[in-house]
Amino acid sequence: MGIGEGAIPYPEAWQEQQRLHALRVADEIPDTVLLLEHQPVYTMGKRTNPADLPLDGTPVVEVNRGGEITWHGPGQLVGYPIVKLPEPMDVVAYVRRLEEALIRACGEFGVRTTRVEGRSGVWVLGEDLPDAVVDPSQVVDLGSLTLRMGLPLGIDPRLAGPEYAPSNAGQRGDDRKLAAIGVRVSRGVTMHGFALNCDPDMTWFDRIVPCGIRDAGVGSVSSELGRDFPVGEALPVVEKHLAAVFAELPEPALSR
């Protein structure tokens, strides 16, 4: 939709999402993904804790997605899939597939990423701490959640999980989130999506508690690789892996 000098103001992208969502609900268009770079903006999902907002009064746009507060802006690739989910509808499996596409893309960039139990998004794990003692109170037990990642739909079991690192209960240094995910499903069609940090100015995150997570950090592909990694370099790779992952879904899926 626009990157670099063509970066899109958030309200413009939101209007386009709503337009495409209505068309997809009516089956007038195939599944569609908007890929873009935003002009700087903070957005907050419905679960945002007021204590996580900018202390300096910086404006924040309230949106109807899941998740908490985050930042979008230059150096970050944002994706808004407008996808009709198959029945029986499994929103958790859909989020796992977004993660899968981004994990595959990051692998192609040369960055090893993973999921972390109890937390959405794509992560680089902190370094293991020698002689660390695990805090049982911080251990996340997902229980049956790891077993329902689309298995009833007959989807490729490699996408079904469980493919998680254990929750960080003091056994390693701070994990770093490279990609955040926040979605909404209305009338069976998805909105909002993901944000992959390519080479943003990371100080934008200093004003907030990103995604409400206080015991982990935020990272970028550029910082992990130790070189500039612009959005334009990430875009075709992410597009390729999104198409591949969603092509593995039963109909209706990405009909590209």
The residues annotated with a catalytic role in the active site are: 211
- Please report the beta strands in 9-150, taking only residues with DSSP state E, as ranges in sequence order: 32-36, 41-44, 61-62, 69-72, 76-82, 114-116, 119-124
Within 8 A by CB and 6+ apart from 138, the residues are: 167, 168, 169, 170
* CA 184 to the chain's CA centroid: 12
Which pairs from 85-91 meet CB under 8 Å and 24+ separation?
A: 85/185, 85/188, 85/189, 85/190, 85/252, 86/153, 86/249, 86/250, 86/251, 86/252, 86/253, 88/152, 88/153, 89/185, 89/188, 90/148, 90/149, 90/150, 90/152, 90/153, 91/183, 91/185
| Rounded CA separation 213/236 (Å) | 30
